[in-house]
Copies of this chain bind each other. A is one copy, B any other.
Amino acid sequence: MHENFFYDLKVYYEDTDAGGVVYYANYLKFLERARTEALVELGFSNKKIKEKFGALIIVKSCNIEYIKPSYLEDQLKVRSFIKSVTKTSFFMNQFISRDEDLITEAKVHLVFVNEEGKPMKIPGSLFEDLKPYFCDSIKV
Contact = CB atoms under 8 A, between A and B. Distances in A.
A71 interface: yes
Interface in A10-48: 12-14, 16-21, 23-26, 28-29, 32-33, 36, 45-47
Contacts of A126: none
Interface stretch (A52-60, A78-86, A87-95, A130-138): A52-60
Interface residues of A, number: 36
Nearest to A48: B73
B19 A23 contact: no
Give how many copies assemble into the complex: 4
Nearest to A105: B61
A69 B18 CA distance: 13
Q: Interface centre among A24, A32, A64, A66, by most B CB within 10 Å? A: A24
Q: Interface centre among A18, A28, A46, by most B CB within 10 Å? A: A18
B117 A46 contact: no
A101 interface: no
A46 B28 CA distance: 23
Given A14-B32, A25-B29, A66 B58 contact: yes
A17 B124 CA distance: 27
Contacts of A13: 17-19, 23, 32, 36, 46
A42 B69 CA distance: 27
